[in-house]
Structure 1
Amino acid sequence: MTDSSVDAPSVAVADGTPATTTGKSLSVVALRKTYGDVVAVDDASMEIAAGEFVTFLGASGSGKTTTLMMIAGFCEPDSGTITVGGHDVTRLAPQRRNLGFVFQQYLLFPHMTVGENVAFPLQLRGVPKGEIRRRAGEALEIVGLSGFAGRRPHELSGGQQQRVALCRALVYRPPVILMDEPLGALDKKLRDQLQTEIKAIQRELGLTVIYVTHDQEEALVLSDRIAVMRDGGIEQFDSPRELFERPRTPFVADFLGAANFLPGRVERGADEDTLVRLDQCGGLVRARPQALAAGTPVTVAVQPCRLRAGAPDDGFCAGRVETVTYVGSLVRAGVRVDGGEAPLLRLEVPAGRAPVVGERVGVTADPEDVNLFPVEQGG
């Protein structure tokens, strides 16, 4: 691959102005990787557009890092194909793919200055010295380190070192940048700051980014789309809003938002809403219209932040508040629902309107915030 630029549609940056898309599209088809009897990745497929920020999100062992390593060329798939900008790179060595990579460990050369670290990939590619100075200077300016070229890595903070690592990946203008939990070693405040900076740079330059994290909030903040991974497969690949508000499986609802799950049965389907009778308390939950027949057993899923606490007789179920945890702008409350010893119903409510321990409350939610998952019978 000789040229890292590509003609592609422009993308919108934060202020609404277009940014030229310099990245390339990436396609993964039926990737599979095994280690003995262990299936690390199984039939992973996705299409990533030029200029898109995609995150692989999952717990340890879900296959997210193995998939990233196969795309990078550090790990060879048993089967499947990887194409970048329409070119098959499945069997190419990592250095021939010309992809950028940012690791969680910064991996800066301690004997080199910041400027030398950033220039190193250009030197390997035989870029003329004058062009190296210009491009290294531009890259350092992009990440806000234009005055740090003469420093050594040990003279920088962790956040600054990670900026240098990002700069080194940007400087040779790769078609795709891969990031493997690059902010995992940083404290929350610095991590939040760098998330904003990474997203701004990606939008401004029109970069194609594939990012790996196990942090759900980080994935929601950064991504255009998220691939939620489980047991080596992709459970759902969608926009952050779609994943949070319209999860296709109970696993996605639970992993992305720690949803509450309540068993019930469809009492009535209608054009305007679906009514579900809860098994535990006998209350009626209204959900958005779904093609489910009366009598169908379902699991009702609602995110804690979408539940409301009110008067005991105002809601689809009632119960007593057992736990209240103050976490700043909101309070996490646990409600023991009448009619059984099921797990506490979890609510997240504004701190100024939080219930107190021992208070009886009714719990409700808007139909649009209620997801229903049919329960498979038998097996």
Structure 2
Amino acid sequence: MPEADVMPSLTVPQTLSGSGKPLSVTRLRKTYGGVTAVDEVSMEIAAGEFVTFLGSSGSGKTTTLMMIAGFCEPDSGSIVVGGRDVTRLAPQRRGLGFVFQQYLLFPHMTVWENVAFPLQLRGVPKAELRRRVGETLEMAGLSAMARRRPRELSGGQQQRVALCRALVYRPPVILMDEPLGALDKKLRDQLQTEIKRIQQELGLTVIYVTHDQEEALVLSDRIAVMRDGSIDQFDTPQELFERPRTPFVADFLGAANFLPGQVEQQASGHTLVRLDSGGLLKARPQAASEGTRVRAAVQPGRLALCPPDEGFCTGTVETVTYVGTLVRITVRPEGSADVGPVRLELPAGRSPVVGERIGLTADPDNVSVFPDVLPDAKDGG
């Protein structure tokens, strides 16, 4: 029976380090019939950077990754890796590493043989092959399992074998297509830590695809939030979360509350919004004239409690849900029947009770203002 995963301490041999190369994608486009899957996507990825394509099903993230890998030919655009144009090269000639959600290990081969296979295909001399495979398995804590076959390993161990197989021939870029999607949450969290540590210590350039917002925030140096084949925002996790540039990004990454109102005043250092519920909400500066209809966006975790009739909103608690370290609360604002409930998250502990009248407040620096248009509907796939 496969053993439970115990994550090893990571020791990276010096000979494995520094293999990353920059990658450039310019106006990449792909259509299927009359449907545009990827629409003029461009980005520059630095050597040693961990970039994630984040989006729901149909956003274009996997198609973009497949074009970079060479498994899907673009209609137009270019892909350059380390200064070399690989746009029209076959996948095996690009030299990129690929890790799938399905491990795709050879069941009749041992762990050692699975990891050695890419080197055998490349005609690496036996002595060099043994050294590289040994170092790579040691790095991943798999040396003791070298003679086992995939069926004798746990899911996490199999995924680490797949990662080793992608690393062993020192690819300039590693591409990962939802590699942890089939694992349970605890193991996913552990492997996220190991993948990030390996990437940093080896100086790898990694492009990672996921629809899991938390995973993207944990792993990435930068995230490309994709929608309808285009990139809505390409930025650091902190900028995306704290400074979303579109309602879609604010909703997709932060599950923001969108509070309707109009700009009442442009003051030094902030925009003052008169909400439809009657309250006044200070937000980050926004280039909008007074009287403009807007929606103020604030994430549930950025709201705080205050006494009733203070802050920007007073309302009645409708639900209180305990979720471990957090309590999720919905509040029905007073002042307008057309305004939906406001969601907030508080640390577990003392929390208001259903039916209690409370006030809400927020730091202006945590409030974004957008034109009065709701973000597009999305799925969670």
TM range (shorter): over 0.9
8 Å Cα contact 1:21-1:50 kept in structure 2: no
Q: Kindly provide the CA deviation profile for residues 14-37 of structure 1, in whole angstroms up to 9, marking residues without a partner as x.
A: xxxxx9642110000111101101
The answer for the alignment partner of 1:298 in structure 2 is: 294
Which of these residues, 278, 298, 313, is aligned with residue 317 of structure 1?
313
- Pairwise CA RMSD: 1.1
| Secondary structure of residue in 1 paired with 2:59 | coil
| Secondary structure of residue in 2 paired with 1:110 | coil
Structure 1 spans left out of the alignment, 5+ residues = 1-18
Structure 2 spans left out of the alignment, 5+ residues = 1-15, 374-381
State the 1:168 CA deviation.
0.2
The answer for the alignment partner of 1:9 in structure 2 is: none
8 Å Cα contact 1:264-1:300 kept in structure 2: yes
Which of these residues, 281, 286, 292, is aligned with residue 285 of structure 1?
281
Q: Kindly provide the CA deviation profile for residues 165-219 of structure 1, in whole angstroms up to 9, marking residues without a partner as x.
A: 0000000000000000000000000000000000000000000000000000000
| Secondary structure of residue in 1 paired with 2:349 | helix
The answer for the alignment partner of 1:349 in structure 2 is: 346
State the 1:351 CA deviation.
1.3
8 Å Cα contact 1:20-1:205 kept in structure 2: yes
| Secondary structure of residue in 2 paired with 1:295 | coil
State the 1:286 CA deviation.
0.6
The answer for the alignment partner of 1:15 in structure 2 is: none
TM-score under structure 2 normalisation? 0.92
State the 1:296 CA deviation.
1.8
Alignment coverage as a number of residue pairs: 357
- Distance (whole Å) between structure 1 residues aligned to residue 59 and residue 301 of structure 2: 26
Q: Kindly provide the CA deviation profile for residues 23-73 of structure 1, in whole angstroms up to 9, marking residues without a partner as x.
A: 110000111101101111001110000000000000001000000000000
- Distance (whole Å) between structure 2 residues aligned to residue 58 and residue 124 of structure 1: 35
| Secondary structure of residue in 2 paired with 1:353 | coil
Higher relative contact order (CA 8 A, sep 6+): 2
The answer for the alignment partner of 1:192 in structure 2 is: 189
- Distance (whole Å) between structure 2 residues aligned to residue 184 and residue 20 of structure 1: 27
State the 1:341 CA deviation.
4.0
| Secondary structure of residue in 2 paired with 1:115 | helix
- Distance (whole Å) between structure 2 residues aligned to residue 21 and residue 252 of structure 1: 33
Which of these residues, 259, 270, 273, is aligned with residue 270 of structure 2?
273
The answer for the alignment partner of 2:158 in structure 1 is: 161
Q: Does 1:58 align with 2:55?
A: yes
8 Å Cα contact 2:284-2:369 kept in structure 1: no
2:314 maps to amino acid = A
The answer for the alignment partner of 2:224 in structure 1 is: 227
Which of these residues, 111, 116, 121, is aligned with residue 113 of structure 2?
116
State the 1:86 CA deviation.
1.0
- Distance (whole Å) between structure 2 residues aligned to residue 245 and residue 21 of structure 1: 32
Q: Kindly provide the CA deviation profile for residues 332-375 of structure 1, in whole angstroms up to 9, marking residues without a partner as x.
A: 00001112143310000011132111111111100000000123
Runs of 4+ in 1 over 6 A off after TM superposition: none
Which of these residues, 325, 332, 339, is aligned with residue 329 of structure 1?
325
1:318 maps to amino acid = T
- Distance (whole Å) between structure 2 residues aligned to residue 104 and residue 366 of structure 1: 40
CA 20–141 in structure 1, closer or farther in 2 if over 3 Å, else same: closer
2:179 maps to amino acid = P
- Distance (whole Å) between structure 2 residues aligned to residue 157 and residue 341 of structure 1: 52
| Secondary structure of residue in 2 paired with 1:90 | coil
